[in-house]
Chains A and B, each alone.
Chain A
Amino acid sequence: MTERYVVAIDQGTTSTRCIVFDRRGRLVSLAQHEHKQYYPKPGWVEHDAAEIWRNVERLAPEALRNAGITEDQVAAVGIANQRETTLLWERDTGVPIGHAIVWQDTRTDDLVRDLQGAEGAKTVEHDSGLPIATYFSGPRVRWLLDHRPELRERAERGEILFGTMETWLIWKLTGGLHVTDVTNASRTMLLDVHTLDWSPAALGFFGIPRAMLPEVRPSVGVFGTAVAGFPGVRIGAALGDQQAALFGQTCFAPGEAKCTYGTGSFLLLNTGKELVRSTHGLLSTVAYQIAGGPAAYALEGSIAITGSLVQWFRDQLELIATAPEIETLARTVADNGGCYIVPAFSGLYAPYWRSEARGVIVGLTSYITKGHLARAVLEATAWQTREVVDAMNADSGLDLTTLRVDGGMTADNLLMQSIADVLDVPVVRPLAAETVSLGAAYAAGLAVGYWPDLEGLRQNWHRAAQWLPEMDPAVRDTEYRNWQRAVERTFDWTRPS
């Protein structure tokens, strides 16, 4: 019997990757292509969806060749994708209407400010589980229809289609299937997260015709069979990237949480079949849904600036040559010397959601060296994690007992120790670093019976490293108070013009 594999397509913000996994969840091969970032105006970020599809078409044979296998050995393909990125295309031709508007794009700023005060806003926030913000797709669709009035009529006739990136890729892979999954749909603000279907109230509020929306499907379940890219292979799953990481970390039980440390960081806590509403600035989101079963929900804490603070330290201040050197520099001193950096570069995300805040460095004295600044950079990520975890504990009534981590910053031992210290819980890194892709692969393999059940997937999870809390509780409390005082100093810095 020939060995069979599962392939994940990870359509990320800067690149697209195809990864082949074996039955034990081990990475067999990886192929990756970056795509161009377009910044047409300040605050605008766009991707060329046609370029991204071309990359997938190139990556598919590359990944299989690197693994030394053929399509008939692929049991299923799973998709994990950058969330909230918004694209319109023509149903007849499949040609995109302009570029995709990327999740970081803030062009809907003014629109969102108006919508926040509009009638019905509370209902939409209730139905979607999200606060009205530029982060989500719904306002972007509205913006596109407002700025290209000729599109609205065609959208109402179903000639213009909307999709996030998984919808676009499934459309291209299957030759015209217009579907999304519940996790991606839950980031549009258009989904009623209780019924798991489009919310009539939200569609009315944003003025978005239902005819342009894809069909909402469970995340784990066969979407269709590919005719391009991986011809003949079933598409078994689609998930937003952070939900995929939660799945890849096998956080299947309520109370299990993971944090992915990248440019920004995203902490998701599985809350089970119950949708938990946050009163502390977290997002209520769908974690996954297996076909035929109920949805599992999650609370999400999004931190805008973590790894990008290290990049800023490297590229803008030029105090280090490579990102990992931040740890070397930080270890030249024993503590932060009383210095704190709050990276509210474009406001603060969870739990504050203050868009008018701007970054500060406080506690500067003539004693402070670049080593102290490096400490403060790493501690900023640790304390931001603590704030999100506190909010989660308060909202869910569950006390986090362990944090599972992944992402590039987990290579930084000092940071991982700091996180264990400030959270006062063990921090654990799994052996599989590629949790986003792994999650998509797991979900797809599960859908086609390649893996029998969630318990089988758990068997594949192994601990690669663990950091235990060592900090004196009194020091922790004092430092946390100092951090919170530093955060207060970022508020109200920019003023509406």
Chain B
Amino acid sequence: MPGTVQSIERAAAVLRLLAGESGHLTLGQIARSLDLAKPTAHGILATLRYVGFVEQDRASGHYRLGSGLLQLGHGRLDVNDLRSHSINWADPLAARSGEAVRVGTILDGQVLVVHHVFRPDDTFQTLDVGTLLPLHATALGKVLLAYRGVPAEAELERFTRRTIRTTQALETELQRVRDTGWSLEAEEMTPGTAAIAAPIRGYGGLVVGAVGLSGLVERVCDSHYRPHQHLVALVREAARAISRDLGAARR
């Protein structure tokens, strides 16, 4: 078979072998069954472990299928799981920044708000969990687009005079997001408001969502639409904490 990658074939064989066994297998058993040298089998298993497709029992050292595979079967990360992992870090972000916090993920070409913490000033606010927002005109959306690996849609709806309207401008913006690891939206969706967001990474660094704050533009940015650096730091810190939580939960 031309064009196949041998190590991937072998990895698949290891997974099939483990799937066929109700119990657990040792490194020796796996190497023997597939007629591989032990170091080769060990390398494959170490890689599969790293990506979460295989787990190793801490006590016995036996190998079994990992929860990362189950997640694959499930498709995307469950949005309610994402909220559950975010809640402990979104609250402190709102408390420290004094702004409203949202967590979003991609759904059908839009941002789905999966968690929302009110701005902590006890004014009347309504929960907008379940709301859909445009990708190109929100900080959460820019993060989700930037790490998506597919080009942005050509159709860019205009909300304000500052909304990004060309795919070229959007691509430049997304490259900036990838370079810095955070995104900004300043009066691009609603005049008078701005937002900062950063990526939430799941297992293996895959971006599964975004967390960000939003508020009045004069509180979030300086007079040149540059975001206050301490707010950027708080957002990135929260994003890293949620990512750690997600990784730890699935290991």
Q: Does A118 contact B (CB under 8 A)?
A: no
Residue of A nearest to B100 (CB): A464
Q: Does B83 contact A (CB under 8 A)?
A: yes
Q: Does A432 contact B (CB under 8 A)?
A: yes
A328 touches B80 (CB 8 A): yes
Q: Does B84 contact A (CB under 8 A)?
A: yes
A26 touches B92 (CB 8 A): yes
* Chain A residues whose CB sits within 8 angstroms of the CB of B87 once the complex forms: 410-411, 433
Q: Does A253 contact B (CB under 8 A)?
A: no
B129 touches A413 (CB 8 A): yes
Q: Does A322 contact B (CB under 8 A)?
A: yes
B92 touches A467 (CB 8 A): no
Q: How far is the CB of A245 from chain B (nearest CB, A)?
A: 16
B111-137 CB mask vs A (1 if < 8 Å, else 0) is: 000001110111001110110000000
Q: A26-B96, A411-B83, A465-B127 are in contact. Are A328 and B78 (CB under 8 A)?
A: yes
Q: Does B171 contact A (CB under 8 A)?
A: no
B59-96 CB mask vs A (1 if < 8 Å, else 0) is: 00000000000100010001111011001100110111
A325 touches B117 (CB 8 A): no
Q: A323-B84, A412-B80 are in contact. Are A465 and B95 (CB under 8 A)?
A: no
Q: How far is the CB of A318 from chain B (nearest CB, A)?
A: 12
Say which residue of A411, A462, A466 sits within 8 Å of B95 (CB atoms).
A462
* Chain B residues whose CB sits within 8 angstroms of the CB of A465 once the complex forms: 116-118, 127
Give residues of chain A (18-54) contacting chain B, Cβ–Cβ below 8 Å: 24, 26-27
B83 touches A431 (CB 8 A): no
Q: Could you tell me the distance between the alpha carbons of A355 and B247 in the complex, rounded to whole angstroms?
A: 42
Give residues of chain B (123-177) contacting chain A, Cβ–Cβ below 8 Å: 125-127, 129-130
* Chain B residues whose CB sits within 8 angstroms of the CB of A412 once the complex forms: 80
Give residues of chain A (272-286) contacting chain B, Cβ–Cβ below 8 Å: none
Q: Does A166 contact B (CB under 8 A)?
A: no
Q: Does A321 contact B (CB under 8 A)?
A: yes
Number of interface residues of B (CB under 8 A): 26
Q: Does A379 contact B (CB under 8 A)?
A: no
Say which residue of A24, A326, A328, A431 sits within 8 Å of B79 (CB atoms).
A328
A325 touches B122 (CB 8 A): no
A458-497 CB mask vs B (1 if < 8 Å, else 0) is: 0000111111000000000000000000000000000000
Q: Does A324 contact B (CB under 8 A)?
A: yes
Q: A325-B81, A328-B78, A328-B80 are in contact. Are A464 and B91 (CB under 8 A)?
A: yes
Q: Could you tell me the distance between the alpha carbons of A431 and B81 in the complex, rounded to whole angstroms?
A: 20
Say which residue of B84, B94, B116 sits within 8 Å of A411 (CB atoms).
B84
* Chain A residues whose CB sits within 8 angstroms of the CB of B81 once the complex forms: 322, 324-325
Say which residue of A321, A327, A464 sits within 8 Å of B70 (CB atoms).
A321
A466 touches B127 (CB 8 A): yes
* Chain B residues whose CB sits within 8 angstroms of the CB of A462 once the complex forms: 95, 118, 120-122
Q: How far is the CB of B54 from chain A (nearest CB, A)?
A: 18
Q: How far is the CB of A229 from chain B (nearest CB, A)?
A: 25
Q: Could you tell me the distance between the alpha carbons of A413 and B79 in the complex, rounded to whole angstroms?
A: 11
Residue of A nearest to B119 (CB): A462
A463 touches B127 (CB 8 A): no
Q: Could you tell me the distance between the alpha carbons of A467 and B95 in the complex, rounded to whole angstroms?
A: 20
* Chain A residues whose CB sits within 8 angstroms of the CB of B78 once the complex forms: 322, 324-325, 328
Q: How far is the CB of B39 from chain A (nearest CB, A)?
A: 35
B94 touches A464 (CB 8 A): yes
B80 touches A463 (CB 8 A): no
Q: Could you tell me the distance between the alpha carbons of A184 and B50 in the complex, rounded to whole angstroms?
A: 48
* Chain B residues whose CB sits within 8 angstroms of the CB of A27 once the complex forms: 92
* Chain B residues whose CB sits within 8 angstroms of the CB of A328 once the complex forms: 78-80
> Which residue, of A325, A410, A433, A462, has the highest number of chain B Cβ atoms within 10 A?
A462
Residue of B nearest to A323 (CB): B84
A433 touches B95 (CB 8 A): no
Q: A462-B120, A464-B118, A467-B127 are in contact. Are A325 and B80 (CB under 8 A)?
A: yes
* Chain A residues whose CB sits within 8 angstroms of the CB of B116 once the complex forms: 465
* Chain A residues whose CB sits within 8 angstroms of the CB of B130 once the complex forms: 413
Residue of B nearest to A432 (CB): B91
Q: Could you tell me the distance between the alpha carbons of A465 and B79 in the complex, rounded to whole angstroms?
A: 18
Q: How far is the CB of A455 from chain B (nearest CB, A)?
A: 15
* Chain B residues whose CB sits within 8 angstroms of the CB of A324 once the complex forms: 78, 80-81, 83-84
* Chain B residues whose CB sits within 8 angstroms of the CB of A322 once the complex forms: 78, 81, 84
Q: Could you tell me the distance between the alpha carbons of A465 and B100 in the complex, rounded to whole angstroms?
A: 10
Give residues of chain A (308-331) contacting chain B, Cβ–Cβ below 8 Å: 321-328
Q: How far is the CB of A324 from chain B (nearest CB, A)?
A: 4
A373-398 CB mask vs B (1 if < 8 Å, else 0) is: 00000000000000000000000000
A411-424 CB mask vs B (1 if < 8 Å, else 0) is: 11100000000000
Q: How far is the CB of B126 from chain A (nearest CB, A)?
A: 8
Say which residue of A24, A323, A464 sits within 8 Å of B117 (CB atoms).
A464
A463 touches B95 (CB 8 A): no
A431 touches B120 (CB 8 A): yes
Residue of A nearest to B120 (CB): A462
* Chain A residues whose CB sits within 8 angstroms of the CB of B122 once the complex forms: 462-463
Q: Could you tell me the distance between the alpha carbons of A466 and B117 in the complex, rounded to whole angstroms?
A: 9
Residue of A nearest to B81 (CB): A324
Q: Could you tell me the distance between the alpha carbons of A467 and B79 in the complex, rounded to whole angstroms?
A: 19
Q: Could you tell me the distance between the alpha carbons of A463 and B91 in the complex, rounded to whole angstroms?
A: 10
Q: How far is the CB of B127 from chain A (nearest CB, A)?
A: 6
* Chain B residues whose CB sits within 8 angstroms of the CB of A323 once the complex forms: 84
A-B contact pairs, 14 of them (CB 8 A): A24-B95, A26-B92, A26-B95, A411-B83, A412-B80, A413-B129, A431-B95, A431-B117, A432-B95, A464-B94, A464-B117, A464-B118, A465-B116, A466-B118
- Residues of chain B whose beta carbon lies under 8 Å from any beta carbon of chain A: 70, 74, 78-81, 83-84, 87-88, 91-92, 94-96, 116-118, 120-122, 125-127, 129-130
20 other A-B residue contacts (CB within 8 Å) besides A324-B80, A324-B81, A433-B87:
A26-B95, A325-B78, A325-B80, A325-B81, A328-B79, A328-B80, A410-B87, A411-B84, A412-B80, A413-B127, A431-B95, A431-B117, A431-B120, A432-B95, A433-B91, A462-B95, A462-B118, A462-B120, A464-B118, A467-B127
